[in-house]
Each structure stands twice: as structure tokens, then as C-alpha cells.
A and B are shown apart, each in its own frame.
Chain A
Amino acid sequence: MIRTLFRTLPPACLLALASGCVTSTVDQMVFNKPTEGVGDATVVILGRRHASDYDTEPDFVECVGEHISDGDGTIKVIGELEFINTFYPWFEPRTAPLRVTDLERLMRQPPVAEKLAALNTEYMIWLDGSTERTDSSGSMTCGIGPGGAGCFGFGTWGDDANYEATIWDFTDRAEVGRISTTASGQSYMPAVVIPIPIIAPVQGTACDGIGDQLLQFLSSTQ
């Protein structure tokens, strides 16, 4: 048993290093790009959560924010949870502005206007979409006995990511850009004693795609 384990471990490790294939496309439509980056101003990235059957995942929003901060350290990205807690109850799914013109209604609340001015928020980026499991097949059985434990079988599943970023300019109260990305990939999990996941990083690819485009839009160095 132990000998079998040692024989299967090296190829298992090699396979784990591999990952499933992902195909991705990014579309960009920019109306008004800042000429010298965002300077001292801040950027906030928020997820849309008003649809009935999906939520934009908070970890995707965080991933895009980190991608931008890592790409250009001069861009200050405000965390989503920190922002919606500070501005409670104005950015909850029920109350969040859906159109850029709704910002006027929000700015009529003096404490909100004051807080936004203090934060010096230049751009508000809305991310809308989700990553969904499209199909899955295969089967795997696992067992445990006095001699050890192990699994045998094969599983595969597909993921589809579909996201759109809408960029609002706070100063001009205008929508200044729109970026959409789609990514899809197939993951595999063969198991001979040990299950070896070969995961297609679908959401990560979508995050990189949209993050790169946003970085180009916001950064003066790109």
C-alpha cells in the first residue's frame, strides 16, 4: 500500500501543478479616460447584488481591487465592505444607485455628500456578474479500511464567468467606461488512491482580464 502511494505521489504532484484550460475574452468601451491617472483621489469597487438569482461574489470584487492596487501602488482602492458600512444604508441591494443620475438623489443627503467629499472618491466601479457551474459529470468512490484510505474515479465540471464593469465618474456624475469579460473552462479530478484536482481558474482569469483593463483606464503609468 505504502509502495503504491510512493509510486503514485510524484505524478500526482506533477498533475496538481497543471491546471485546466480557460478561454477568455474582454471587451472594452471607454468614453472618457483620465489623462494623468487618478492622482490623490480614491476609487471604490462595488458588486451588484440586486438580481434575484445571483450575487456578484465579494471575493471577485476583492480580487479586482487587489489586481489594481498591485498593478499601480499609487491608486487607492477603498474596500467594498468598508465603503458600504460607512455609507449604510445607501449602498444596500435595495437602495444602491442603479443609474449614474441616481447619485444626485444621494448627494442631497448632506452627511453622505460630506463623507464622499472627505474620501475624495473620483471613480465608482460597479461589477455585475457571477461565475456559474455549467455541467458536471463522472463519479468517484472513496473508502477507508484498516490498511488506509483511498478514492477511485473521475469527475469533470465546467465553469462560466460573465462580468461587466461600469465606471462612474463622481466629479462629472457621468458614466465614463464599460468593460465586459467572459471566461469559461473545464476542470478535471481523476482519482487513483488520491484525488488530483486539475482546476481551471475561470474566476481568476476573469478577474485578471477585467483588472488589467481597469488598470489601463485608471493608471497613469500603464
Chain B
Amino acid sequence: MSGSMTSAPDRGRALWLAALPALLGLALLAGCGPAEVVVKGDFPTPLMQKIPITLGVWYDDEFAHHEFFEEAKTRTESSWLVRTGEAQVQMWDSLLAGMFSRVVYMNARPGPGQMNPAVDAVLIPQVQELQYAIPAQTSVKVYEIWMRYKLELVTTGGKPIADWTMSAYGKTPTAFLQSDQEAVNLAAVMALRDAGANFATTFTQVPAVRDFLQRKLGTAREASP
């Protein structure tokens, strides 16, 4: 009769010994993965006079789950994955709520025959491009994030009112005991705040938007007693 008899602690030790190489292997593999940043921050509501229109907003899937991936070019660099989608939606929600009298979320992208709530215009923000720089890549001791947005203002039927591009930039200096990930997150939050500041201060100056607002608010003023 052959067999083995091991007590429970012995069995546990044997299991650990068997699992150790696998765990070490997993740890090494994890070290090979890209540096990942899920951007998180607080975005204040703007302090300004609200534009008296009902604005619809549509975030398409690519925007709401926006992420940026850059593969390492050399063996010493690491790949980067920066997920900004959640923070983008959070920032734009907070910004638009402070800028307009009423903000309504659309059920679908505005288009002919599409069933959506009635609004004065619908804003569709999109991230066209995102670039980052960390001190390891540049001689400057700052972490930087640069973004370019494509903004569309359309009717509920999807007819274009205005479209324009807008850039945003955020940077943060190197700091003691700050990881690359923390610094890139902070730079992204700064870039998002800058996007909000840029939009809030230039929205009414975009020529097509200005014309639209003049028509809309002029009509509203004439209609009011």
C-alpha cells in the first residue's frame, strides 16, 4: 500500500511552495505591463452668469470611455495607458451645469427622425488628440498633458450650428515622493480644468455660436412680455 499522509499545515506549505514560482512569474509579468492611469479629480462648477438656453449634451461611447495608449519605443521606456473618459464626463457635466440654465442628456446622437428631448441645441464634445510628456522624455522637469477637442453644436435633428476645435494643456512639476502615475494624473486634471476654463471663456465668442445665441436670445426677448 502506497500513499502519502500529510497534515493540513504541511499540505498548505506544499501548496505555497508550488504556487510561489507561479506568483513570482505573475509579479514579473505585471511589472512588464503598461503604466496605467485612471484619471481622477474634482472639478468645480464655474462661477458665471448662466446662458439662458436649454442645452442638450451627447457623449458618444468613445468620449465617455476615452483612453490613450502609447507603446514604449525603447526597452528602457514603459508603455502608457491613460484613461480619461470618466473624468471627462465628470468635468463636462459640472462645467455645463454651471454655464447653462438647463442641461438635458440626449437619448441618442442627434439626427433626423431621432427621438430626443426638445432642447435649443445639442453639444457633442470629442477628444481628437491627446499627448503627454514626462521628465524622462524631455529636459524640462514638468509632466505635461495636451489635448485637442472637436466640439459640435447641432440641432436636435442633427443639423450643424457650429463646429470648432479647442486645445487644453495641463502640467505639474516634479515633486518629492511623487510617482509618474500620480504626476500624469495631476497633469491630466490640470488639462481638464484648462479645457473647462477655455470653453467657459470662449464659447460665446465662437462666431457661429454668437450668431446662434443672438438669434435665439433675441427671439426669446421679443417673445417675452
Contact = CB atoms under 8 A, between A and B. Distances in A.
B172 interface: yes
Given A53-B142, A95-B197, A95-B201, A90 B47 contact: yes
B94 to A, nearest CB: 9
Interface in B171-218: 171-173, 175, 190, 193-194, 196-198, 200-201
A102 interface: no
B197 A88 contact: yes
Contact of A112 (B47, B172, B173, B198): B47
Contacts of A90: 47
Q: How many of chain A's residues touch chain B, expressed as a range?
A: 20 to 34
Contacts of A57: 173, 175
A116 B216 CA distance: 32
B44 A109 contact: no
A41 to B, nearest CB: 20
Contacts of B141: 54, 132
A90 B201 CA distance: 9
Given A86-B47, A111-B48, A53 B198 contact: no
Contacts of A86: 44, 47
Interface string B60-91: 00000000000000000000000000000000
B197 A55 contact: no
Given A53-B142, A54-B142, A111-B49, A88 B173 contact: no
Contact of A94 (B42, B45, B46, B194): B194
A89 B196 contact: yes
A85 B141 CA distance: 26
B140 interface: yes
Q: How many of chain B's residues touch chain A, expressed as a range?
A: 20 to 34
A173 interface: no
A70 interface: no
Among A89, A112, A130, max chain B CB count under 10 A is at A89
A94 B190 CA distance: 11
Contacts of A152: none
B219 to A, nearest CB: 24
A93 interface: yes
Contact of B46 (A52, A55, A89): A89
A110 B49 contact: yes
A92 to B, nearest CB: 4
A130 B197 contact: no
Contacts of B196: 88-89
Among A57, A85, A132, max chain B CB count under 10 A is at A85
A115 B46 CA distance: 12
The 5 closest A-B pairs by CB, nearest first: A89-B197, A88-B44, A92-B197, A85-B44, A55-B173
Interface of A: 52-55, 57, 85-90, 92-95, 109-112, 115, 130, 132
Given A57-B175, A109-B48, 14 more contacts: A53-B142, A54-B141, A55-B171, A55-B172, A55-B173, A88-B47, A88-B193, A89-B197, A89-B200, A95-B197, A109-B49, A110-B49, A111-B49, A112-B47
Interface of B: 42, 44-49, 140-142, 171-173, 175, 190, 193-194, 196-198, 200-201
17 contacts: A57-B173, A57-B175, A86-B44, A86-B47, A88-B44, A88-B196, A89-B193, A89-B197, A89-B200, A92-B197, A95-B201, A109-B48, A111-B49, A112-B48, A115-B47, A130-B173, A132-B141
